[in-house]
Amino acid sequence: MKIYKAKDYNDMSRKAANILSAQVIMKPDAVLGLATGSTPLGAYSQLVEWYKKGDIDFSLVTTVNLDEYKGLTKDNPQSYYRFMCENFFDHINIDKKNVNIPDGTQENSDIECERYNNVIRSVGGIDMQLLGIGGNGHIGFNEPGCAFETETHCVKLTESTINANSRFFDTIDEVPKEAYTMGIKSIMQAKKILLIASGENKAKALYEAICGPVTPKNQASILQLHNDVTIVADEAALALMKYV
Ligand code: F6R
């Protein structure tokens, strides 16, 4: 596990964008696993800036996103599909045919999970998976206690995640209660993993993920068993790590 300490959110975003862009430069047809949430926004906007300057080309890149709310259509303002388009895909030259996100409108979870697992297989697996981390250690929507042995599955969101996500909705009742997410098994099959974290509200979960026991109570702790993990986190998120 390589851990890079960034000064602040902007520094974290630049460092993460550098690592993602190196992946695309070294393998133009790379498969990138992507995440939503506040943490990657700065990295996406940095990549857009470099694309506009002509420094990076996404025309051959394929993406597979971690998760999507069940019940939301692609064009719902709160769907992760829309989030990715507004914050990243609409501003770069990615071919939308190569963009993959679970289909929130598929009511039959078994069908959707099998379809998405097949998508991941058919693109040849993920070269680099970008991850954020929840304040409770979740990655994707894999919440504490979830079995490590899962591929894409439908989850019932915990109260803490529903509360954390409610900032994006008008009322808490509008926050979907279920989501499709890649499972830990799918994430662990990525060739490389890049986890980013910013802010003191991530410090405990990040410390436990890196230094604590590998336990489903902190889903990110499983990353200790992956052989190519890079963590880029700012000082606040690394506050409990004395020797980084
Ligand atoms: C998003 C995702 C989540 C977030 C996590 C952190 O696709 O999979 O696990 O990465 O909830 O969210 P932020 O970045 O908003 O703190």
146-202 pLDDT, tens digit per residue, is 999 999 999 998 887 788 878 888 899 889 999 999 999 999 999 999 999 999 999
**What are the boundaries of each domain within the chain?**
2-234
Q: Is the CB of 138 under 6 A from ligand 1?
A: yes
Q: Is the CB of 66 under 6 A from ligand 1?
A: yes
C-alpha closest to that of 57 among 6, 103, 95:
95
Banded pLDDT at 236 (limits 50, 70, 90): very high
Span 110-114, average pLDDT: 98
What residue owns the CA closest to ligand 1's atom 10? 132
CATH of 2-234, one of 1.10.10.10, 3.50.50.60, 3.90.230.10, 3.40.50.1360: 3.40.50.1360
Q: Is the CB of 201 under 6 A from ligand 1?
A: no
First to last CA, the chain: 12
Q: What angle do CA 177, 123, 214 make, to 5 degrees?
A: 55
Which of ligand 1's atoms lies nearest the C-alpha of 65? 7
**Rounded distance, CA 177 to CA 224, Å?**
30
Task: Kindly report the pTM of this predicted structure.
Answer: 0.96
